[in-house]
Amino acid sequence: MTSVNRLLSSSQRQSFVISATAFLASLLLIALLSILLLILVRGGAYFWPTPVYELTFYDQLQNKQKTVYAQQRQRTDSSGEKVWQVDYSDENSPYGAKTLVEAPDVIAKKLAPESAQINLTDGRAVLAEPVYLTSAESADIPVSEYASVQEKVHALTAKIEDIRETWLSDIHQKLAELDVRNVDADAPARLNLNASFDRWQSEIILLEQRRDAFQMKVVFASGASWQLPLSDIDSFYFVSSQSLWEKWAMALSSIGTFLTESPKQANTSGGVFPALFGTVLMVFLMTIIVTPFGVLAAVYLSEYAPDNGFTAAIRVSVSNMAGVPSIVYGVFGLGFFVYTLGGSLDDLFFADHLPSPTMGTPGVFWAALTMAILTLPVVIVATEEGLRRVPDGLKAGSYALGATKAETVLYTILPIASPGIMTGVILAIARAAGEVAPLMLVGAVKFAPNLPIDGEFPYLHLDRQFMHLGVLIYDGAFHSQTDAKGSSMMFAACLLLLVVVFVLNILAVILRTRLRKRYLL
Amino acid sequence: MLKLFEHETLDVGNLADQDTAIDVQALNLWFGQKQVLHDISMRIPKNRITSLIGQSGCGKSTLISAFNRLNDLYSGCRSQGSIIIDGRDINHAKENVSRLRTQVGMVFQRPNPFPMSIYDNVSYGLRLQGIRVRRQLDDAVEQSLRDAALWEEVKDRLFEPAHILSGGQQQRLVIARALALKPDILLLDEPTSALDPLTTLFIEELMAELKKRCTIVIVTHNMQQAARVSDYTAFLHQGQLIEYTDSDTLFTMPDKKQTEDYITGRYG
């Protein structure tokens, strides 16, 4: 440094310091931006239609040449060689196969405007050329009639569902009641029910046969044809011949699917609605729990606690709690909330269900409680900061009007400190929405069959396990690298998680700005 | 002729009980180890303006804060001796401090309106007492603002935030806030030191008006102000009451050398 000092004049030294700090700051900015860019590009690519090619390549595994309709999701360089990640369909694997093709093995490749990406209701996709539609009556309905034919299929499906839900479930229930009352197997009531069950069942089979007669005939690149039941088809797009508008429309529709539907095909396809819902619900519950606790603790520490070493020790411990690794909170939540607290609740209130636990199992409420403990220090520290900013003159003014300490805290100090409290809540939300590790111990799962909220009493099922965007991303990251679509759904989920955190933060910032304006000093 | 409109001058050294608003008896007060007030005994007359003057740090603000026990807010403050207000020793452990503070209002050096509407500021003390009847609050707010000579200026914007008012208006708002509780005694701790001369004059006129209904004790650094507005003046020096008599006498022919030195500006 002395040599630098000798070389540079004082103003040069100053500009050197400025450039050095600015350089590091811009490095940080670039790192942040590239993270955002990566997630934006890779996440956005999940929604953008991928063109279908007619690809002829040499399959090294089967030692033969293949011509297929294929989508190339990604190109990676492994040890310098170009490798194509290919999703394709052919007569051997009509519902899609994945493979890696090295660049020299590609023999021919051209856009296939005649081929469509046919999305199935179970989340898979078929790449093939739709030729015509068939029904029980006629064998060659043109593909352009798809909408009206599909309407008939939907009507039949609705009818079948209706029979299942109204009649069959009713018969099931009555049979179960008979079982409970130990009615004989050959009692007339039971026989009647069985007979009507069979009647409805055969009706359903008839309807299903009629429905499945509606099919789509498709042709693969090799010339082989295949029949797809229309009831399995969700939608199809001629991705290779789309105009820009059609591409945008398809992207928007897949964003809609992504946001509103459940995951399919082991979280590699479909939507992430349950995870989005679970994340927001958990953060919401956590906020409701942590805010009063944090604020009350901060009020005690700042207004009531004697100013001595013990209080100082508590303050230091609270600040240090913010640095405890989150998995430790997860273990604490599992050991204390789930096993101890939930287990005791089971012993007290749900003893007749034991040994299968009711509350003593990971669930959304325990997860929210654990996250509340995890974010408590953040709220306490920020609230104390806000309380410290309340001018002594205002407190004295309140006392001078005959207010007690509690009244002063409630009517004067807390309103003025409310922007500070909001700052704490914002930080807590940001922390809780992005946390994954502790959640996997206390209630978040890869797949939950039910949402924590539904139409059944008590509507909000706090004991249920839930899906979480972070856990979904963690799960997605373990999908095979060849599964390009799955990993790109993980990026889409990342993007969504960022958006969720951003939106929650913006909401809290708006609230804080309003409070600041109201309690301007 | 003018004398007719003035009060008869009482001898504060020998004040009768019925004329006394605050009776301070041998008051000693410490902050931690430091003794701030030394054996102060004085009787403050009813419906008069009494000013406390002295150097910074002489204990006059501490003395005025002893009258509504606001010193309690500072940990490490303890006192000896009694202060009799309304027949009670307010230093007694069983004194209801909240009630005392509604009887003894206080206005501070810097205007400290709460970050609420003008209306809510004035009705704060009443609402604390559990008064929720809208009509009653409306009447009290209007009356207090009139008493503080602020009504005409704010009557159209009662529900706007108090911080939009000017400094002088804020100080009058704070006075109105104290008056809403109908206090017997009003303590003013350097109420005009943060205000411009014109606004100061306005507040001084207000004090002259207010003394008809309550006793006023004012701490001031401004000797002219003390001479102008107060009927009686007490001079404190290093926590001791040096001289306490009617303002005319104190400012024209002070008894003690220290007082003379202070008012003629030799120190302080």
pLDDT (tens digit per residue) in A295-312? 999 999 998 988 889 999
- Measure A400 CA to nearest chain B CA, in Å: 6
Q: Counting beta carbons within 10 angstroms of the beta carbon of residue A90, is it exposed (0 to 12), middle (13 to 18) or buried (19 or more)?
A: buried
- Measure A421 CA to nearest chain B CA, in Å: 17
The gap between the terminal CA atoms of chain B, to the nearest Å, is: 37
Question: Is A324 found in the same domain as A420?
Answer: yes
- Containing H/E element for A492? helix A484-518
Render pLDDT for A54-65 as a digit per residue (tens, 0 to 9). Answer: 888 888 878 888
Q: How many domains are contained in chain A?
A: 3
Phi-psi region at A203: left, alpha or beta (left = phi > 0; alpha = psi -120 to 50): alpha
Measured torsion, CA atoms of residues A272, A278, A280, A285, in degrees rounded to the nearest 10: 180
- Measure A375 CA to nearest chain B CA, in Å: 30
d(CA A260, CA B126): 54
Query: What's the domain range around A155?
Result: 136-213
- Measure A303 CA to nearest chain B CA, in Å: 11
Is the CB of residue A295 less than 8 Å from the CB of residue A421?
yes
Provide, as residue numbers in chain A, all residues whose Cβ is less than 8 Å from the Cβ of B129: 402
In a domain, A21, yes or no: no
Is the CB of residue A519 less than 8 Å from the CB of residue A391?
no
Q: Which of B73, B161, B174 has its CB closest to that of A399?
A: B73
Question: Is A459 found in the same domain as A388?
Answer: yes
Task: Name every residue whose Cβ is closer than 8 Å to that of residue A341 and which is 6 or more positions away in sequence.
Answer: A359, A366
Tell me if chain A has a CB within 8 Å of the CB of B151.
Answer: no
Question: Is A79 found in the same domain as A55?
Answer: yes
Q: Which residue of B has its CA nearest to A412?
A: B114
Question: Across the interface, do A393 and B108 touch by the CB < 8 Å criterion?
Answer: yes
The gap between the terminal CA atoms of chain A, to the nearest Å, is: 47
Low-confidence ranges of chain A (pLDDT < 50): none
**Whole-number pLDDT of residue A318:** 92
**Whole-number pLDDT of residue B2:** 47
Q: Which residue of A has its CA nearest to B68?
A: A400
**Whole-number pLDDT of residue B3:** 47
pTM (2 decimals)? Answer: 0.79
Question: Is A147 found in the same domain as A121?
Answer: no
Provide, as residue numbers in chain A, all residues whose Cβ is less than 8 Å from the Cβ of B101: 399-402
Is the CB of residue A129 less than 8 Å from the CB of residue A114?
yes
- Measure B235 CA to nearest chain A CA, in Å: 25
Confidence of residue B4 (pLDDT cuts 50, 70, 90): very low
Question: Is A252 found in the same domain as A190?
Answer: no
> Among B48, B36, B92, B47, which Cα is nearest to B234's?
B48
**Whole-number pLDDT of residue A4:** 62
Q: What is the DSSP letter of A243?
A: -
d(CA A297, CA A291): 10
* CATH code for the part of the protein at B20-263: 3.40.50.300
Domain ranges of chain B: 20-263
d(CA A170, CA A156): 21
Tell me if chain A has a CB within 8 Å of the CB of B184.
Answer: no
d(CA B27, CA A214): 103
| DSSP conformation letters of A117-178 | EEEETTS-EEEEEEEEEE-SS-S-EEGGGHHHHHHHHHHHHHHHHHIIIIIIHHHHHHHHHH
Residues recorded for chain B: 268
**Whole-number pLDDT of residue A58:** 86
Question: Is A418 found in the same domain as A335?
Answer: yes
Q: Which segments within A49-105 are labelled E, that is strand?
A: 53-59, 64-78, 81-89, 97-102
Question: Is A393 found in the same domain as A310?
Answer: yes
Question: Across the interface, do B110 and A396 touch by the CB < 8 Å criterion?
Answer: no
Residue % of chain B over a pLDDT of 90? 27
Interior angle at CA A401, CA B188 and CA B74, nearest 5: 75
**Whole-number pLDDT of residue A484:** 55
Side chain identity, residue B193: S
In a domain, A37, yes or no: no
> Among A44, A493, A16, A497, which Cα is nearest to A270's?
A493
In a domain, A184, yes or no: yes
Provide, as residue numbers in chain A, all residues whose Cβ is less than 8 Å from the Cβ of B124: 398, 401, 403, 411
Higher pLDDT, A269 or B108: B108
Question: Is A317 found in the same domain as A245?
Answer: no
Place of tokens 């002893």: B66
Question: Is A437 found in the same domain as A358?
Answer: yes
d(CA A242, CA A249): 10
Q: Tell whether the torsion through CA atoms of A314, A315, A318 and A322 is positive or negative.
A: negative
Question: Is A199 found in the same domain as A55?
Answer: no
**Whole-number pLDDT of residue A294:** 94
In a domain, A219, yes or no: no
CA A413 distance to own-chain centroid:
40
Question: Is A388 found in the same domain as A297?
Answer: yes
Question: Across the interface, do B114 and A403 touch by the CB < 8 Å criterion?
Answer: no
Preferred mutation among A304, A401, A518 to probe B, highest tally of B CBs within 10 A:
A401
Question: Across the interface, do A398 and B124 touch by the CB < 8 Å criterion?
Answer: yes
Render pLDDT for B179-216 as a digit per residue (tens, 0 to 9). Answer: 999 999 999 998 888 788 888 888 888 888 888 888 99
Give me the residues paired with residue B82 across strands: B25
In a domain, A416, yes or no: yes
Provide, as residue numbers in chain A, all residues whose Cβ is less than 8 Å from the Cβ of B128: 401-403, 407, 411
Measure Cα distances from B222 to A47, A408, B58, B66, B237 in Å.
Answer: 76, 32, 15, 22, 16
Q: How many CA atoms lie within 13 A of A75 on its CB side?
A: 5
Provide, as residue numbers in chain A, all residues whose Cβ is less than 8 Å from the Cβ of B70: 396, 399-400
In a domain, A510, yes or no: yes
Place of tokens 């590239």: A34
In a domain, A235, yes or no: yes
Task: Name every residue whose Cβ is closer than 8 Å to that of residue B77 and which is 6 or more positions away in sequence.
Answer: B29, B30, B31, B71
Confidence of residue B268 (pLDDT cuts 50, 70, 90): very low
**Whole-number pLDDT of residue A483:** 56
- Containing H/E element for B155? none
Question: Is A396 found in the same domain as A493?
Answer: yes
Provide, as residue numbers in chain B, all residues whose Cβ is less than 8 Å from the Cβ of A397: 108, 112, 114, 174, 177
Question: Across the interface, do A401 and B124 touch by the CB < 8 Å criterion?
Answer: yes
Render pLDDT for B12-56 as a digit per residue (tens, 0 to 9). Answer: 777 777 788 899 999 999 988 889 999 999 999 988 999 999 888
3-state secondary structure of B10: coil
CATH code assigned at A310 = 1.10.3720.10
Render pLDDT for B71-81 as a digit per residue (tens, 0 to 9). Answer: 888 878 888 88
Question: Across the interface, do A397 and B163 touch by the CB < 8 Å criterion?
Answer: no
d(CA A494, CA A475): 12
Measure Cα distances from B15 to B6, B22, B148 in Å.
Answer: 18, 11, 30
Tell me if chain A has a CB within 8 Å of the CB of B20.
Answer: no
